[in-house]
Structure 1
């Protein structure tokens, strides 16, 4: 298979006023996540931290991401593990102010699955195959699966999947709540944009506050909710939207 050429970029970016569409773009490697992909994700996160927009994350060639780049991973040593190369990038992605929507077609394995777990919303096609086979390669899923997966599907199912390395197909992923909906491949991005459209109709400040409060530790509630609500209660947009609602209702 051909290697990446200098003209190729591992992450294709399409920018719109209220959203960004990022496509993992190493189809000849099934979009395996290498260092260049991680660097591109950090660059994108920096942009979306300063200019918050919804992010739609997908993959080229009928694959989301078939894992980390094993050729790179094989050569990494203890010091590389402690750097948390993928883990820190995925944490940064998860903490973006606006929602992250993962539109998953085909394989999402290993690091690819962990990238999907970092999203706020996951939708997929019927060809989905998602899981963490890391223990079969002599490592563990250390870029988020050990804590995010149980938050998504519960302790018992997460433990079974992580210890067996079993791949979950589309119907089961929907049934256990790993993804929220399934679509035909030709409809996947349309569905992702429909979700982004719904988000865009809402107040951005309220959306950012909702995501921040949702991801706050349990011990921070209800104080974090009330502080965010107090700020929104003083927002001119709150008064505008509620006034519009009352005027429509009175007609």
Structure 2
């Protein structure tokens, strides 16, 4: 009995992985920075939590809206390209066949074989062949606005909940240190998981995310301390 072999590729995860990592990273960094900035200004723990919750809701909605608009624009462009290609295939099928064969020649096939491949693909599904080989569109990288929006919003909310939980359970005098420390740990774990899922270096992924998160929190805490002292 012939067994089928399914070979997974890291690139197949690129769509949802990008949205999830970006959302969670922004949730942790922005919320932790907001909590530390407000706390550094001398605000009460209740006000810090109110600011953090407001930041979570606003950030999640902003991520969802931004991702939906961005990916929708990409999807519109893909649809427009496919529509144009469909019209060209209907109006000039022979020219499109030669164009497809020329693509395969550039990729290393000899002219005769390229003609045969192009002809068979044109007989089967010409639009799919041109979408893949001429336009560079494929099902793996297809734009999915709603999926990207929901993934970004959910990931942001999960990421933002982590520093908020720390701010909720810690005593006020330990709030800034605990929020900063726990958030950096969360960021390191997030960077490691993202790197592992994407087949990249775990150390590089964790270091990169942690560095920028620490910088953001330090700057925001500094601003909060400055304006708190002025007020």
| TM-score, length of structure 1 as denominator length | 0.23
Q: Which has the higher contact order (CA 8 A, sep 6+)?
A: 2
Higher strand proportion, which one?
1
Larger Rg: 2
| TM-score, length of structure 2 as denominator length | 0.24
Higher helix proportion, which one?
2
